[in-house]
Amino acid sequence: MENPGTVFTQISDFLDYLGSDFATNFAKSEALANLNPTPKFPFLCSRHFADLIKKSSDPTALLSEILPHVAERENVPGFVDDPVGDLPASKSDCVIQKYDGRALIVSTATCGVRCRFCFRKNYPFQNIPDVAREVSNWIDTHSDVWEVILSGGDPLTLSPGAFRDLVESIAVHPSVTTLRIHTRLPVMRPDLVMQHFELLRELPTRFHCVLVSHVNHADELDNESATLFAHFKICGWTLLNQSVLLKGINDSPDKLTALCRKLFEQGVLPYYLHQLDHANGVAHFEVPDERARELIAEIRTKLPGYLVPKLVREIAGEKSKTPV
């Protein structure tokens, strides 16, 4: 299992890889006890993330991010297939525009792992034959858009050729001055990020470039993520992070403080802490608003102001993220 591209699609193979010591120690953990072996949103974990779990001092937290839980089968009122109103805001098969000046591209359905709390877990990803052309045509008629956000799925899972085509199709429009990439790959598949590095290095000469990593727990960050972020930084990228507040994973002042400090050590500023989007099958991750506000108040007493993320929720139909 030395290949960094190894992925686990079978829960049993993944648990074997974690090893018998691990299994013995954690067999009684809630995450394993409540495993759902046949999830509707299939299990996927990278070898890199499995290694992070093995090294973690809080492995149950990381496991809960990716191990299917029986609670996903429950139908909870208010938890729906399109919790943030992506579909009404769709402008084409792959462009979503909700906010002034910014457009979001659903570049691909593929991710490095499958996060159980994913807000797009029920998204009807289209099979788009030519995302690059579609995006380019759309920007042609929308010169008010100055920031293009690559999202997905995870845009850095595109093949180097497809990713380059997409970026070039955006770069030909002088109206677009900022390119933003939202990705979880620096902590899930750092090997795939490196495949794009030649292009990523060139981009800041054409755009203002912003990388928003999605990291939820300090133990997701290691030497490999530090090296990657350092590469981006040297090339002139602005590095931000967004997290989701998740019950049992990062809902304590100590864990959030550790996360924000470690991000900063790796050159990344905390940007948003999101309240959970109410997608079907994620209700067991919910942290009540009142508790979320208490947590932010508490970390504000422990961190410099520039390391305290903004606590927000996305409400369908609003003109921006909404402060909680």
Ligand X SMILES: *Cc1c(COP(=O)(O)O)cnc(C)c1O
Site of interaction with ligand SF4 (CB under 6 A): 111, 114-115, 118, 120, 152-154, 184
Q: How far is the CB of 115 from ligand SF4 (least distance, A)?
A: 3
Residue 184 binds which entry of ligand X, ligand SF4, none, CB below 5-8 Å type-dependent = ligand SF4
149 binds ligand X (CB under 6 A): yes
Distance separating alpha carbons of residues 26 and 15, to the nearest angstrom: 11
Q: What is the number of other CB atoms lying within 10 angstroms of the CB of residue 170? A: 20
Query: Contact, 102 vs 142, CB < 8 A?
Result: no
Percent of the chain as helix, strand, coil, to the nearest 5: 40, 15, 45
Residue 96 binds which entry of ligand X, ligand SF4, none, CB below 5-8 Å type-dependent = ligand X
Residue 114 binds which entry of ligand SF4, ligand X, none, CB below 5-8 Å type-dependent = ligand SF4
- Burial of 207-244, coded b for 16+ CB within 10 Å and e otherwise, reads bbbbbbbbbbbbbbbbebbbebbeebeeeebbbbbbbb
* List 98, 121, 189, 278, residue binding ligand X (CB under 6 A): 98
Q: Indicate the DSSP class of residue 177.
A: -
Measured from the CB atom, the residue of 176 and 182 that comes closer to ligand SF4 is 182
The H or E element spanning position 13 is helix 11-18
Measured from the CB atom, the residue of 11 and 104 that comes closer to ligand X is 104
* List 99, 146, 197, 264, residue binding ligand X (CB under 6 A): 99
Measured from the CB atom, the residue of 53 and 273 that comes closer to ligand X is 273
Binding track, positions 104-123, relative to ligand X; x by CB under 6 A: x-------------------
Residue 321 binds which entry of ligand X, ligand SF4, none, CB below 5-8 Å type-dependent = ligand X
Provide the 3-class DSSP secondary structure of residue 309.
coil
Q: Indicate the DSSP class of residue 313.
A: E
Q: How far is the CB of 2 from ligand SF4 (least distance, A)?
A: 24
Q: How far is the CB of 149 from ligand X (least distance, A)?
A: 5
Residue 98 binds which entry of ligand X, ligand SF4, none, CB below 5-8 Å type-dependent = ligand X
Edge to edge, what strands does the sheet with 310-313 contain? 95-99, 102-106, 147-151, 178-183, 208-214, 238-244, 269-274, 310-313, 322-323
Q: Which of residues 215-274 bind ligand X (CB under 6 A)?
A: none
Query: Contact, 151 vs 183, CB < 8 A?
Result: no
The H or E element spanning position 62 is helix 59-66
102 binds ligand X (CB under 6 A): yes
* 76 CA to centre of own chain: 24
Measured from the CB atom, the residue of 114 and 310 that comes closer to ligand SF4 is 114
- As given in the structure block, the two tokens for residue 127 are 């099979």
Measured from the CB atom, the residue of 72 and 154 that comes closer to ligand SF4 is 154
Measured from the CB atom, the residue of 62 and 150 that comes closer to ligand X is 150
Q: How far is the CB of 155 from ligand SF4 (least distance, A)?
A: 10
- As given in the structure block, the two tokens for residue 225 are 């993520």
Residue 80: strand pairing partners: 279
- What residues make contact with ligand X under the rule CB under 6 A? 96, 98-99, 102, 104, 149, 320-321
